[in-house]
Structure 1
């Protein structure tokens, strides 16, 4: 593709060479550069791509896009300068792949909790009307029924645009994607046309990156400034702000506050939720298979987005009823012993509080909670989560999540401070497998064992290695022959 065409809609200056050259591909990793490529220098949090420009040229790059001047590059290599290469690579990638998002309905879901479940509720509804659906998210990327492994909630812009083009070529009509605050702030999703955006909620998370909740909120709001239609949870304190930031048509939803989509007559059991939806003066009975008030909010968001896409309400409700749940999201593992475990990704204060409150609504015995906090992440939430678990559990088992480069013993001590405040009985196990086994052995008939923090993840990250670890597998092993 001609470099001049790639640079369309980007402000830049030519420091060296010509912009009217043919480029084979784009790369931001010098190790992946091939002959005839454009190399984009991105200033990262650990490394600066400008330092690898010479290596990129050695590997065959014929053009470099940078933010600052680079010395020692041969004069036959084109050098283009722009203010922000993260913003630029997003637009360049969209140009390179011929704007695939404009050829499909793209639905973006953002919020601290509920993104993954909401995307799969949307998929169930779109499946119901016979559409081929692409999913981009935390658990996996998916084209129809084909699963593509994923490394982060929202891919880098280059990979994201490539994936969108692949989806279009495989006849996907609708893409439902989780949109992280990082991806919005770091411009990964610039250049994507969103038909609809959904706001689930905003609670404490990612403060290691955003520093303040205000910054976090502003990052999330960037999605709604670029959507043709927005669906906003107005029970959340940040909901009104998201409505104000929305540029297109807005549908609001809620349980407590007056909204366009209102849930009433709620009944929660271990098997799911029944509620009555009021919309446009009409009332509709709705059933979903995942328990909890949080599940109602996820369903309302999916209903609102589907309405903005022109899907009729009866089809929407049937699609929701056919969703059997999402891996690692309030996932039940039953036992013949008369108690069961619930594996959930809850790794934020709000997420943990939601699943524990839900469990307490139908537990016959005790709530036993196995949980920890990740290393190299927001440390301020650790005692907060400890206090929440202590207040809402009958017994806590504090353990490791993904320690990463931190000392797991120190992480457990941070969590322990919060549990101690509550007077709840607790134990500590650095080894997560031992923690799960202990909780299962401690449980009696009528109890629920909550295993929180990792959900769908099939790995555990340590300073020197990453091992296979799956909470669902581990609890089944702990149940042994009694697992159902």
Structure 2
């Protein structure tokens, strides 16, 4: 591809040299001969400091935000390098979002579960569907390892260009929106699940967080539609905002005014909903009102696509859940483990409330906090755990560069202030799970939250790499000694 085709839309008053371009890079170490290097100022590194390295590696043109003179290759200054990267990547990969039916899902909680549900409903109706999610990516039926909730703009455009699937369902995080990772992508449907306390270390306050989340719905295609949870106060605010701006909105919730109305939920698995005068009972295989809301979002987008009510009902009967989301591991002794990704105050309360509602025996909760993440939520999460649990074991999550001693010190401080005598600290995550297992009685529930299916980033005592594998290791260890 010629450089002029790639960037002429950014520089309408400048003559662009007819240089052949091999690829686009924003990491100087990946630059090879014939590439364009886009310098991005990150949070830890500034790509502008690596421009000379990129040229030494073979870059034939450079794009950046700073006013730089006298480079040995053409340099083009832009206002926002991240925005430019997304736009240029879309051109380089021939605007892949235009050939797919794009479904973007945003919200604090429920993005992954809703994405898996939507994909399942589509595939059950013989519609091919790519998935880009926190847990994993599926393209053309093949699984690809996920590196972020929303991949960087270059990787995202590349993945979509590889897909021959009719639909593409993707989680769209607030970080992904703010960092312009979805620049150059336009959506047929935008789904809003909910909004609550999270990422305030990054967004500063909920109003700013909401504003960023709202941006997804201004990336809809001309005929695009918004699917919004009216049960969320922030959803109600979004509905008003979008409708005032002339964006088509379809809602789900308990109100007679909702496009898809929830009439009843039996607290276990059966919901009754109505759509265009037709009422239907559906069975869900994931408990909790929060999963009901995720299902409603998936159902409504499927209905808007044209899948009929009965097909949706049949599809949900074969939905087996999401890795690391309310995954249950029962042992013959009567002890039950549940692993869940819940890592926000709202998500944790919904999860623990669901477990407590369906279980009146002892509940043991194991969780920790991630280094360099939102500190303001920790008190509320511990208070929630103490309220619903009989015993709380605080442990280590990913340190992310924070000194272990500092994290452990904070755990003790939190425990002393808010633990109410229910809290125990076991620093090693695998040993925390082992302790709970060795001290559990028949019919106890042990819940482990915060990581879901994620691989451990720290080195722990047991030879395992996820919460699931730790549980299975302990089960196998006991079986071998029986």
Q: Which category of TM-score, normalised to the shorter sequence, fits these structures? A: over 0.9
Could you say which residue in structure 1 is the equivalent of 2:288? 292
CA distance in 1 between partners of 2:75 and 2:311 (Å): 54
Give the superposition deviation at 1:256: 7.0
CA distance in 2 between partners of 1:339 and 1:267 (Å): 25
CA distance in 2 between partners of 1:116 and 1:179 (Å): 10
Could you say which residue in structure 2 is the equivalent of 1:268? 267
Matched, 1:165 2:161: yes
CA distance in 1 between partners of 2:165 and 2:128 (Å): 5
Give the superposition deviation at 1:368: 0.7
CA distance in 2 between partners of 1:303 and 1:385 (Å): 31
Give the superposition deviation at 1:401: 0.9
- The range that moved more, 94-103 or 257-266, is 257-266
After superposition, residues 459-470 of structure 1 pair within 5 angstroms as: 459-461=456-458, 469-470=465-466
Judge conservation of contact 1:335–1:482 (CA < 8 Å) in 2: no
Q: Determine helix, strand or coil for the equivalent of 2:369.
A: coil
CA distance in 1 between partners of 2:411 and 2:477 (Å): 33
Give the superposition deviation at 1:454: 0.4
CA distance in 2 between partners of 1:244 and 1:23 (Å): 45
Q: Determine helix, strand or coil for the equivalent of 2:82.
A: helix
Judge conservation of contact 1:230–1:305 (CA < 8 Å) in 2: no
Matched, 1:6 2:2: no
CA RMSD of aligned residues (A): 2.1
Give the superposition deviation at 1:482: 6.4
Structure 1: gaps of 5 or more residues: none
Give the superposition deviation at 1:8: 4.6
CA distance in 2 between partners of 1:124 and 1:334 (Å): 25
Matched, 1:451 2:448: yes
Could you say which residue in structure 2 is the equivalent of 1:28? 26
CA distance in 2 between partners of 1:444 and 1:145 (Å): 43
Matched, 1:248 2:247: yes
Could you say which residue in structure 2 is the equivalent of 1:329? 325
Give the superposition deviation at 1:312: 1.6
CA 1:330–1:255 in structure 2 vs 1: closer, same or farther (change >3 Å)?
Answer: farther
Matched, 1:222 2:218: no
Matched, 1:406 2:405: no
Judge conservation of contact 1:134–1:141 (CA < 8 Å) in 2: yes
Q: In the alignment, which of 89, 102, 113 is matched to residue 109 of structure 2?
A: 113
- The range that moved more, 305-314 or 426-435, is 305-314
Matched, 1:180 2:161: no
CA 1:380–1:177 in structure 2 vs 1: closer, same or farther (change >3 Å)?
Answer: same
CA distance in 2 between partners of 1:13 and 1:339 (Å): 70
- The range that moved more, 297-306 or 250-259, is 250-259
- The range that moved more, 255-264 or 399-408, is 255-264
Structure 2: gaps of 5 or more residues: none
Q: 1:127-174: CA deviations, max 9, x gaps?
A: 11112211101111111431101211111111110100001xxx2111
- The range that moved more, 222-231 or 408-417, is 408-417
Give the superposition deviation at 1:415: 4.8
CA distance in 2 between partners of 1:452 and 1:403 (Å): 16
